[in-house]
């Protein structure tokens, strides 16, 4: 089973970071209001970054590391991945 760390861009321009085994499904859940409390009032959200991790623990650690980053560093991460501004496939 693959694990992923992901970043969503919310309608208000903020970022939300999480981890999952299925990024497209998780994006749908967030957009349906069944995701994190943070994203419920900031819909719609768009999946802008995915990073595969070897296991759940690694995904959770990477999530924490990304959440600790400032906005500019997160934006640079998203831009450098080439995933910004388009749908992300897994």
Q: Report the CATH number that the domain containing residue 31 is assigned in CATH.
A: 3.40.1440.10
Q: How far apart are CA 54 and CA 74, in angstroms?
A: 21
Q: Is residue 89 part of a domain?
A: no
Q: What was the pLDDT predicted at 87?
A: 47
In the chain, the number of structural domains is 1
* Structural domain span for residue 37: 3-81
Higher pLDDT, 57 or 90: 57
- At residue 84 the predicted structure's pLDDT band, cuts being 50, 70 and 90, is low
Lay out the sheet containing 3-10: strands in order across: 15-20, 3-10, 45-53
pTM of the model: 0.89
Q: Is residue 90 part of a domain?
A: no
| pLDDT (tens digit per residue) in 9-53 | 999 999 999 999 999 999 999 999 999 999 999 999 999 999 999
Q: What was the pLDDT predicted at 82?
A: 78
Q: Is residue 22 part of a domain?
A: yes
């Amino acid at each position: 089973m693959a694990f992923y760390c992901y970043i969503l861009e919310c309608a208000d321009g903020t970022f939300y970071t999480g981890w999952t085994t299925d990024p497209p499904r998780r994006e749908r859940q967030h957009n349906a209001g069944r995701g994190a409390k943070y994203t419920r009032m900031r819909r719609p959200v768009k999946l802008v970054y995915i990073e595969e991790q070897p296991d759940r623990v690694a995904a959770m650690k990477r999530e924490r590391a990304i959440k600790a980053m400032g906005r500019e560093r997160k934006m640079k991460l998203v831009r450098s991945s080439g995933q910004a501004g388009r749908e992300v496939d897994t």
